[in-house]
């Protein structure tokens, strides 16, 4: 088992990967630097290996697929995940590793948004999207993670081996954040400096398509992790609509003794039936989620026992 493993997922980062590997070898000389090449068409893998990294390959395209492979194959006391584009300085690595190794933090988030991100990043829609995602998740899940989509994080062994990677692409960071919150894991925020990509280095993110995937991920995970809030909210909306349609019919009946709008009354009934079904669906699923949390704690104890065996 490695003491510290630095994980660098890469796709066509030949302009920056050697510098990133060199910086991390200087900052954490005891760490093992892993570069996972994701079908690069340039010489990213060769440059990383020449700089001293352990180079491996993931042939399924997408950052989520690379992270899944890394988490499966590598055993370490502390994992540091970093992008290969040289936008995150290595000098914060020691502080983040110490939080994992000494304070038993499960996930350390490198917070760009509280420092230089909005000045350095030249893509205004990315700035807006980061703020939107951060605000949405912190409100929906009642947490205070300062940067949801940062690629600079540190993890414990327990987090890595208990995290089910479902996303295939850049929405993986959102999934990590919500998983840590929902499983009551210890989270710390570390404010880091952010610098924009160097000239000639191109971002792989598509503002609109990747942003839409992130929003879909938030929607899916809120439904899965907070079913009572999701289906209960739907039930409340449908009840308000049904009541809004029913009140005029009720008022006419009180004044005239007649029900002139039977089609509307029937629609009200169907909407309210759907609301009741939605409410009880949320109730049942919330019970299932609670049972899953209990089972997760048992699985976490098994992983912890395995971790202690590794350390012996």
Boundary of a domain, candidates 166, 190, 225: 225
Residues 107 and 221 in one domain: yes
Residues 202 and 248 in one domain: no
Residues 97 and 164 in one domain: yes
Boundary of a domain, candidates 190, 225, 260: 225
Residues 133 and 182 in one domain: yes
- Mean pLDDT for 219-228 is 92
Poorest-pLDDT segment among 55-64, 134-143, 224-233: 134-143
Residues 37 and 69 in one domain: yes
Residues 199 and 108 in one domain: yes
Residues 92 and 219 in one domain: yes
270 sits in which H/E element: helix 262-311
Instruction: Determine the pLDDT at residue 113.
Output: 85
What's the CATH number where 91 sits? 3.90.550.10
pLDDT score of 167 more than 70 = yes
Instruction: Determine the pLDDT at residue 114.
Output: 84
Q: Which two tokens stand for residue 228?
A: 């009572």
pLDDT score of 59 more than 90 = yes
Boundary of a domain, candidates 206, 225, 244: 225
- Mean pLDDT for 216-235 is 93
pLDDT mean across residues, the chain: 90
Residues 194 and 50 in one domain: yes
Whole-number percent of the chain with pLDDT over 70: 93
Poorest-pLDDT segment among 129-143, 234-248, 276-290: 129-143
pLDDT score of 22 more than 90 = yes
Instruction: Determine the pLDDT at residue 124.
Output: 61
Buried/exposed code over 248-282 (b: 16+ C-beta within 10 A; e: otherwise): ebeeeeeeeeeeebeeeeeebeebbebbeebbebb
- Helix 207-225 to helix 124-140 angle, to the nearest 10 degrees? 0
Residues 174 and 238 in one domain: no
Instruction: Determine the pLDDT at residue 306.
Output: 87
Residues 239 and 196 in one domain: no
Query: What Å distances lie between residue 66 and 42, 57, 305, CA to CA?
Result: 18, 8, 27
Beta strands in the chain, from DSSP E residues, in sequence order: 2-10, 32-37, 54-57, 76-81, 107-111, 153-156, 187-191
Distance separating the N- and C-terminal Cα atoms of the chain? 11
Residues 160 and 278 in one domain: no
Provide the domain count of the chain: 2
Residues 99 and 185 in one domain: yes
What's this model's pTM, rounded to 2 decimal places? 0.85
Q: Which domain holds residue 162?
A: 2-225
Contact 153, 81 (CB under 8 A): yes
- Mean pLDDT for 253-275 is 90
């Amino acid at each position: 088992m490695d003491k510290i493993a630095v994980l660098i997922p890469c796709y066509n980062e030949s302009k920056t990967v050697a510098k990133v590997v060199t910086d991390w070898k200087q900052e954490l000389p005891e760490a093992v630097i892993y570069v996972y090449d994701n079908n690069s068409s340039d010489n990213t893998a060769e440059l990383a290996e020449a700089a001293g990294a352990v180079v491996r390959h993931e042939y399924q395209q997408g950052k989520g697929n690379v992270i899944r492979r890394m988490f499966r194959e590598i055993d370490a006391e502390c994992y540091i995940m970093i992008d290969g584009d040289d936008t995150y300085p290595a000098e914060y690595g020691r502080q983040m590793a110490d939080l994992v190794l000494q304070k038993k933090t499960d996930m350390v988030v490198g917070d760009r948004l509280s420092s230089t991100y909005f000045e350095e990043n030249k893509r205004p829609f990315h700035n807006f999207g980061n703020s939107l995602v951060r605000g949405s998740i912190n409100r929906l899940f009642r947490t205070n993670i300062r940067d949801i989509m940062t690629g600079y994080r540190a993890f414990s062994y327990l987090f890595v081996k208990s995290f089910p990677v479902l996303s295939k692409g850049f929405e993986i960071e959102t999934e990590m954040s919500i998983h840590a919150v929902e499983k009551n894991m210890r989270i710390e925020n570390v404010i880091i400096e952010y610098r924009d990509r160097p000239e000639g280095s191109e971002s792989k993110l598509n503002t609109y398509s990747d942003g839409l995937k992130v929003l879909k991920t938030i929607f899916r995970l809120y439904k899965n992790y907070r079913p009572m809030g999701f289906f209960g909210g739907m039930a409340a909306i449908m009840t308000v609509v049904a009541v809004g349609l029913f009140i005029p019919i009720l008022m006419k009946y009180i004044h005239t003794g007649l029900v002139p709008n039977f089609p509307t009354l029937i629609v009200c009934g169907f909407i309210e039936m759907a609301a009741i079904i939605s409410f009880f669906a949320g109730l049942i699923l919330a019970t299932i989620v609670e049972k899953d949390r209990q089972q997760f704690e048992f699985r976490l104890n098994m992983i912890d026992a395995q971790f202690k065996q590794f350390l012996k």
